[in-house]
Amino acid sequence: MTRPGLRPFLTGWAFATLLICVTAPSSQAADMRKVIRTPYQSAETNFDCAVESDEFTGTLCDNIFDSLLQYDYLARPVKLQGRAAVGLPDISADGLTYIFKLKPGIFFTSDVSFGGKKHELTASDYVYSLKRILDPRLISKWQFLLDKKLIGGDELVADAQKAGKFNYDKPIAGLEAPDKNTLIIRLKKPDYNLSYILALPATSAVAREVVEHYGSTFPEHPVGTGPYYLKDWRRSLRVTLEANPDFREDYFESAITADAHADPRDLAIAAHLKGKRLPLAGRIEMSPIEEEQPRWLAYLNNQYDFIRPIPTPFIEVAMPGGKLAANLAKIGMTTRPDEVAWLTYTTFNMQDKILGGYTPEKIALRRAMSMAYPVEDEIAIIEKNQALKAWSPIAQGMAGFVDERTDIFDYNPAKANALLDTYGYLDRDGDGWRELPDGSPLVIDMASVPDQRERSRMELWRRAMERIGIRITNNKVEKLPELRKQAQNGKVLMFNYGWIADYPDGENFLQLFTTDSIGGANYSLFSLPEFDRLYKQIVTMPDSPERTAIYQRMVRLLWVYNPWRVNTLKQGTVLIQPWIIGYRKHPFAHEPFRYLDVDLSKLPGNK
């Protein structure tokens, strides 16, 4: 994989590459007759990209705002390309200075906060937006991206904590805009994932005028420079985006190679998009449907244009034997893999007086629970074999992943029972349930979201823990955003969750266990000085065998203390209606709405 930030060398082999670029571009704008409709598994949070981290919010932000960089839609291995930036940054030899040049003539959509004037996107907007991630008052879930990295950033945060207010006007050497189209980022230490970070929606540009005009309601008023703008929002019911009338002329470009490894479907997409102005569809309609059955039935009723992924209870209906059902193939439906580095796991609250702690008896309790849980049953019953068993807290395929396994995630209730006996978790009163070593009750409440899928998973956990004499309750049932918030505050003992990689490096998973991530995405509240020390070491290292060896040490530390019961690596499938052209899920990007086209002649009623 090309190291992020390095410019690809094309001159010697460009003749052998199918470079899809601007060749007689079309000036045609998005077609308002073309509408993309899709359901989501959980509701949006809001539109503050610098703060929220759920997938639905990320998808919305990715289409309303502009990050500096983006992923080449079709190139594999993955490659970065310019988005608001002209191209990849110029990086100093020591890896400490990044210089971006912005494309001129990019404008925010019109809004009253601009006082009737057009607001051009400038480097100062990125300076302001990246500072927002550091603002302690916002409690950004993305703070880890920039924390302790920018020259002058820590001092700015410290001043804000003392004053109770973040000084956005105070200049720092780490973020400078010497002119309107030049952004300079200076780091304290090298960060070889910075270019990937600057392709995330969280690092997109917002306008200070908009944030200050709307104040506390800013998260409900997204005003960006992206291909779409917010047309209508009915919280938790529907989000409608329309093609941005102020969007710049942006044409499809990819460096997909026409070689023996290229997927013919991707080459066909590239040929279809060649020279086309983006976006193609005039409107996007998204609806959160948390329950799987109504989501599936709505898709079959042609209410949606693709469903990602196929709900697991219906995978055998849609793909018996792993092949698309004949009745669906007959009407022209197609499938693509849901390419995503998505690990699922069960968190243990490391600060809880019963479940948490770093002493041998506490480790033994979590380890016994992990060994007693049959993840193979979860894969067969709940995932319908659309997942693989995972051992590592780093997803397979990520830089730094090592295919090493541990017996604490192997199903072994006999060994779990023996471990609990050894460390004094005994049934002293003969009621069939173990007590803590001090004789007090051992009851663990496992939180969940309110849907049938999680109810089925809870039943698996109850049965598994019953086999080893541990009583599991399910008294806390909350919507996912509220559950995450409570987990951050230490009010959740256990819950099932998943992490979708933001960029293709195992560091993105390891940061979930740092002390600095407590209050953010470290839902287990794990804190270990040795782990923190190793993490500070790896974030300044390029991908190398030496760094991978340190990753391996960190993974083994996590196996020792067991803040997660690592469960599965998702292997979902996207089902696509026959009139949708160009769908492919990128493993590290959100929904590809700007690239999707609609064949109007194939729409129901037009045949």
Q: How many helices (H) and strands (E) does the chain have?
A: 17, 23
Cα 541 to Cα 531: distance, rounded to the nearest angstrom: 16
Burial class (CB in 10 A: 0-12, 13-18, 19+), 204: buried
| Per-residue model confidence (pLDDT) at position 605 | 81
Nearest Cα to Cα of residue 70 among 264, 246, 226: 226
**46 to each of 35, 55, 104, 187, 244, how far by Cα in Å?**
23, 11, 29, 30, 19
Residue by residue, DSSP assigns 466-502 as HHTT-EEE---B--HHHHHHHHHTT--SEEEEEEE-S
Q: How far apart are CA 559 and CA 262, in angstroms?
A: 38
User: Six-digit token pair at 573?
Assistant: 């499938």
Q: How confident is the model at residue 15, as a pLDDT?
A: 30
- From the list 569, 578, 603, 574, the residue with the least C-alpha distance to 591 is 574
Q: Which of 400, 392, 405, 434 is nearest to 545 (CA)?
A: 400
Cis ω for the linkage preceding 279 (within 30 of 0) = yes
Question: What are the structure tokens assigned to 42, written together?
Answer: 């959980």
Q: Please tell me the predicted confidence (pLDDT) of residue 24.
A: 42
Place of tokens 């003992």: 493
Q: What angle do CA 590, 346, 200 make, to 5 degrees?
A: 20
Check: CB of residue 452 under 8 Å from CB of residue 477.
no
Q: Half-sphere exposure of 141 toward its Cβ, with a 13 Å CA cutoff? A: 23
Helix axes 360-372, 413-422, angle to 10 degrees: 160
pLDDT at site 258 = 84
Residues 6+ apart with CB under 8 A from 247: 225, 226, 227, 279
What are the structure tokens assigned to 151, written together?
Answer: 């020259």
- Residues of the chain short of pLDDT 70, as ranges, are 1-28, 260, 607
Q: Please list the residues that pair with 471 across neighbouring strands.
A: 443
